Amino acid sequence: PQAPNNVKSDWTCDMASSVEKFRTLEKNDIDHLLTKNIPDVPLFDDNEVFSTCAIISNAATLRNSNLGYFIDQHDLVLRFNNAPTKGYEKDVGSKTTIRILNSQVVTKPQFQFVSSPLYKRLKLLMWDPSNYTSSINEWIASPEHNFIDNYISFRKSNPRSNFHIVHPQYLWRLWDYIQDHTTAHIRRNPPSSGFLGLAMLLPRCTVVNMFEFIPSERMTHRCHYYHEKVDVTCTFGIWHPLAAEKLLMLTANTMPDQTVFHTGFLSIPGYKSPIC
């Protein structure tokens, strides 16, 4: 993958200056057993920067894409939730640097979060939605999914894991940004894991390549590349402001239509790009 050097993207550079800096929960945010278990090391060191980053959506359109080899060439690869690579290497690659998990995946028994090998030996970042106006105390007292015990168990059984939690108010600052740049009114629910991933990586990457966030010509009504379930809301959104997120991504994209709609990825210059 190549980093672009002669294109302009007002959108990302604008996001760099107008969205609050990416923020995870810190030990001193609240005196609670949860924050005591947060690792001493940050998710990324200040000097941990990457030339090329790949964000792999969970979309069913990745099936038969043959993008696996190209994805694995990136310096950093971000995946989401319980999306597997085993058995799908040809289409999605096998490298994973970091996973973003929503709190359902950390909490619900079906995902076997604490025991599954999928979540070992990589960076992990999880998020759980708060109410727009909730304080940290209110959120921790009543999270959307009660992930706290599993977070602590995971950290205790994997003490060297680099596993952080998004500051819930940061999700709302991202939501504010999406609403401020969208003419339609969007529902007051936090952005999807996909948009969070983009916001987290823009400050660290020269270029961020995003796979099948804009559905390609392999468009299907199925939800995920690893399931047969049909659910078109996975692609266009019903709870998350997914359509608004995707339109913003497309606005910042520097790749030609052929790449976006035929090959299946778009490219967004990060803040480390010379154009910002």
Pairing of strands 50-56, 76-80: parallel
Nearer to ligand NCC, 6 or 110 (CB): 110
Nearer to ligand NCC, 52 or 193 (CB): 193
Q: How far is the CB of 274 from ligand NCC (least distance, A)?
A: 28
Order across the sheet with 205-211: list the strands.
Answer: 163-165, 123-127, 98-102, 76-80, 50-56, 205-211, 265-269
- Residue 80 interacts with ligand NCC (CB under 6 A): yes or no: yes
179 C-beta neighbours (distance < 10 Å), count: 16
- Residue 59 interacts with ligand NCC (CB under 6 A): yes or no: yes
Q: How far is the CB of 10 from ligand NCC (least distance, A)?
A: 23
Tokens representing residue 143 in the block = 């999270």
Q: Which member of 51, 104, 158, 162 binds ligand NCC (CB under 6 A)?
A: 104
- Residue 216 interacts with ligand NCC (CB under 6 A): yes or no: no
Q: How far is the CB of 60 from ligand NCC (least distance, A)?
A: 6
Q: Which member of 174, 234, 249, 268 binds ligand NCC (CB under 6 A)?
A: 234
Nearer to ligand NCC, 34 or 55 (CB): 55
Pairing of strands 98-102, 205-211: unpaired
- Residue 158 interacts with ligand NCC (CB under 6 A): yes or no: no
Q: Which member of 9, 24, 58, 107 binds ligand NCC (CB under 6 A)?
A: 58
Cα 65 from chain centroid (whole Å):
21
Q: Select the span of 33-41, 101-109, 158-166, 265-273 touching ligand NCC (CB under 6 A).
A: 101-109
Q: How far is the CB of 190 from ligand NCC (least distance, A)?
A: 9
Q: Which member of 37, 107, 193, 209 binds ligand NCC (CB under 6 A)?
A: 193
Q: How far is the CB of 231 from ligand NCC (least distance, A)?
A: 8
Residues forming beta bridges with residue 266, ordered by sequence position? 210
Cα–Cα dist 192/185, whole Å: 17
- Residue 103 interacts with ligand NCC (CB under 6 A): yes or no: no
154 burial (CB, 10 Å; 0-12 / 13-18 / 19+) is: buried
193-196: which pairs have CB atoms within 8 A and are 24 or more residues apart? 193/80, 193/81, 193/100, 193/101, 193/102, 193/127, 194/55, 194/57, 194/80, 194/242, 194/245, 195/240, 195/245, 195/248, 195/249, 196/100, 196/127, 196/166, 196/171
Q: How far is the CB of 44 from ligand NCC (least distance, A)?
A: 20
Contacts with ligand NCC by CB under 6 A lie at 57-60, 80-82, 102, 104-105, 192-194, 213, 223, 234-235, 239-240
